[in-house]
């Protein structure tokens, strides 16, 4: 049995697929998310899984959960900071400030809480790998991407800066930046409007959550002296739209 892999947002999409993939590789899984029923069914399916049903925005809950990990799950080698969401595609002026705050609190502050709680364990063990799930939205602007893209640009830059701060500790850091992938992401973004969510993926070949889980596993499987700094992954069907020029 390998060490523990701590995965945030493990109730759905990438997180769930990554938990399954790493479990098959022999890692013990620590799975965090809000939907406890889903965490329980994941644990039943995988075995050797410790579940943490909490909101990543709840700083005390995150720190307490890490502090109170069962003894045999304390050897965290892998942290996948995956929990996150986009809300809406409105322009900045029309979009809801509450939605902005949820994205900032989850994608930025939640990621900081989990990393701050777990990094001392990796430092102590002088070994670890932090994989942050960024997005193409952190590099490439699009209409309605405003604050969501901003949070993912933060994830990228924090990942780079973290690399400097863990120098000498034998800890790897990678920002994985997926493009179009069908998960519950768009249902969340369109607040349960399934028709709008489905339209995002209609008529094209998108990535699967398992593709991203495989990318995570590929990174982990590289020799320990190799650090991928950022890894952008799109389906072949996705490319850039070019710059927009307003004409009279």
State the catalytic residues. Answer: 148
User: Pattern of binders to ligand NDP over 85-124, x per CB under 6 A?
Assistant: x--------------------x------------------
Could you give phi then psi for residue 20, rounded to 5 degrees?
Answer: -65, -45
How far apart are CB 235 and ligand NDP at their closest, in Å? 10
User: Pattern of binders to ligand 8X3 over 179-198, x per CB under 6 A?
Assistant: x-------------------
- Between vectors from CA 111 to CA 110 and to CA 116, what angle results, nearest 5°? 100
How far apart are CB 243 and ligand NDP at their closest, in Å? 22
Give the nearer residue to ligand 8X3 in terms of CB position, either 139 or 170: 139
Query: Which residue from 136, 147, 171, 209 is in contact with ligand 8X3, where contact means CB under 6 A?
Result: 136
State how far Cα 160 lies from the chain centre: 16
From residue 38, alpha-carbon distances to 11, 16, 97, 231 in Å are 6, 9, 30, 29
Both ends of the chain: CA-CA distance in Å? 65
Task: Kindly state whether residue 194 participates in binding ligand NDP, applying the rule CB under 6 A.
Answer: no
Task: Kindly state whether residue 135 participates in binding ligand 8X3, applying the rule CB under 6 A.
Answer: yes
Distance CA 87, CA 44 (A): 31
**Which tokens belong to 165?**
């701060």
Task: Kindly state whether residue 82 participates in binding ligand NDP, applying the rule CB under 6 A.
Answer: yes
Sheet of 4-8, strands arranged across: 49-53, 28-33, 4-8, 76-81, 128-133, 171-178, 230-233
Contact residues for ligand 8X3, defined by CB under 6 A: 135-137, 145, 179
The footprint of ligand NDP (CB under 6 A) covers 9-15, 33-35, 55-57, 82-85, 106, 133, 135, 178, 180-181, 183-185, 188
């Amino acid at each position: 049995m390998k060490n523990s892999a701590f995965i945030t947002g493990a109730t759905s999409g990438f997180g769930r697929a990554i938990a399954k993939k790493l479990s098959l590789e022999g890692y013990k899984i620590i799975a965090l998310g809000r939907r406890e029923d889903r965490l329980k069914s994941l644990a039943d399916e995988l075995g050797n899984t410790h579940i943490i049903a909490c909101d990543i925005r709840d700083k005390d809950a995150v720190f307490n959960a890490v502090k109170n990990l069962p003894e045999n799950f304390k050897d965290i080698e892998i942290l996948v900071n995956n929990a996150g969401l986009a809300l809406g595609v409105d322009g900045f002026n029309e979009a809801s400030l509450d939605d902005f705050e949820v994205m900032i609190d989850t994608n930025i502050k939640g990621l900081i809480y989990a990393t701050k709680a777990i990094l001392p364990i990796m430092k102590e063990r002088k070994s670890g790998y932090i994989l942050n799930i960024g997005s193409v939205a952190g590099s490439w602007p699009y209409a309605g991407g405003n604050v969501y893209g901003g949070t993912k640009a933060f994830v990228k830059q924090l990942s780079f800066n973290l690399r400097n701060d863990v120098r000498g500790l034998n800890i790897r850091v990678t920002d994985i930046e997926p493009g179009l992938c069908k998960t519950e992401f768009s249902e969340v973004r369109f607040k349960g409007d399934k028709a709008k969510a489905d339209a995002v993926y209609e008529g094209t070949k998108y990535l699967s959550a398992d593709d991203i889980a495989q990318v995570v596993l590929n990174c982990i499987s590289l020799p320990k002296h190799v650090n991928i700094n950022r890894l952008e992954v799109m389906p072949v069907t996705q490319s850039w739209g070019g710059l927009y020029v307003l004409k009279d």
